[in-house]
Amino acid sequence: MTTPPPRGRPPAIPRLARAAAALVAVVCLAHVLWSGLAHRPVALAFGALVALGELTRRADAEAREAAPLGAAGALAYALLGEVAGHAAPHGVAQTVAVVLAASLAGSVPYTARGSGPVLDHLARRVLTVAFAAVCFQPLAAQGTFRDWSGPAHALLLIALLALTTLCDAVLAAATAHARTGWPFGPLLREELRGMVGITSAVCATGVVMALAVGVAGLWALPVFCVPLLLAQLSYRRYAAVRATYRQTIASLARATEIAGYTPAGHAHRVAELSGAVGRDLGLSGAEQSVLEYAALMHDIGQLSLVDPVPAGATASLPVPEQRRIALLGGAVVRQTGVDPAVAVVVERQADPCRDQPPAARIVRVVNAYEEKARDAGPGGGLAALEELRLAPADDYAPDVVEALARVLSRGSLTGPSAG
């Protein structure tokens, strides 16, 4: 069994990332203080842009790119070789120092409120910008790219940003792996999938900013800030709609608890544990959403029963009765306007595991484990797992049962389900 890190102390990889970022920051700040700030108007303009991006960022630990404007401005400054046709050799040290100072200034309100992982956010920002600047600035200062044409220069910047984003994804996945114990491979795949979304927009905006400032000067910055700010506003509204949508589903899931059909907190525990098993098995973000909603609503079919099942323990019912309740639940879900894929999972959670979609297999295993562990009393988790392993082959998917065992062994969850 893997022992989780002590509470209040960050795991080894986040500590190493913070230490590396702190070392880079100290060296760069010392160099700038010693040599002075070159090209002050350019440094102040990009610093103000990064600070504005930080001030408007989302204080959300789950956001993949919480401050897209700040990230785009920081990357553009790291890949800036010219300003209005004149060389801008500000170098690696000044790039990191300006981005760090601006990020700190923009993070003051969040630090004062104690909202958001500010230290980890700053560490990733410093390391990412330092990597991009090290790849570009020394070669630009030597005039390596002086004779490159426009398309070739743009492709170079895109390639450097793609490499930078890949390194950032590896760092983010390694940090999440150290903090949660979830497998590194699925976490990295999820980070790489995220590049298709807002991360791509950030990289594209950073490239365009660097190229536009090189031709038109600093007047290009506000022009290219507006589209990203509008995109960020739209993304916030979309996130708010999704949060409201999830809250509605969670409220529907509690209907069985309020009516006395299932124990309090059962749906939430099944959803939490199902999500952890889904991450262990490498489900994508969309699949995880379907899994979460189906796990929350997996018992909603019991509302159609005249007599409640004792303690809501459907796993102990005859298979035909389980399937009847599952079909009733799917019919209810379809009336709510939820994604039809959620209804399919709810309907098929009682089918033989070989015929089920992955999410239905997970919900079936986790629901059975939660019910059996709860009925077995304190310390019943091991007995429940053993019962699932010894069940007939069509009852519970062996790979899901083993994934559940790995999740429980990591001790990343608490409460009755952790057994």
Q: Which CATH class is domain 254-418?
A: mainly alpha
27 pLDDT more than 90: yes
Mean pLDDT value across residues 154-171: 81
**Residues 279, 182 contacting (CB under 8 angstroms):** yes
For residue 97, pLDDT over 90 is answered with yes
pLDDT tens digits, one per residue of 289-307? 889 888 888 888 887 776 7
Residue 415, pLDDT score: 38
Q: 117 and 66 in contact (C-beta within 8 Å)?
A: no
| Segment 133-140 mean pLDDT | 85
| Separation between Cα atoms, residue 60 and residue 172, nearest integer Å | 15
DSSP state string for 35-101:
H--SSHHHHHHHHHHHHHHHHTS---TT-SSS-HHHHHHHHHHHT--EETTEE---HHHHHHHHHHH
pLDDT above 50: residue 412? no
- Mean pLDDT score across all residues of the chain: 79
pLDDT at residue number 3: 39
Highest-confidence range of 129-138, 319-328, 370-379, by mean pLDDT?
129-138
- 264-286 pLDDT tens trace: 888 888 988 998 898 888 887 77
d(CA 95, CA 37): 10
d(CA 57, CA 73): 13
Provide the pLDDT for residue 335: 81
Q: In this structure, what are the phi and psi dihedrals at residue 60, rounded to the nearest 5 degrees?
A: -130, 115
Burial annotation 214-248 (CB, 10 A radius, 16+ → b, else e): beebbebbeebbeebeebbeebeeeeeeeeeeeee
CATH 1.10.3210.10 residue ranges for the chain: 254-418
CA–CA dist 390, 32 (Å, integer): 66
Measured at the CA of 394, the angle between CA 318 and CA 297, to 5 degrees, comes to: 60
Give phi and psi for 86, each to the nearest 5.
Answer: -105, 145
The answer to whether the beta carbons of residues 409 and 419 sit under 8 Å apart is no
Number of helical (H) and strand (E) elements in the chain, helices listed first: 17, 2
- Looking at residue 93, its pLDDT comes to 92
Statement: residue 174 has pLDDT above 90: no
Q: Could you tell me the pTM of the whole model? A: 0.67
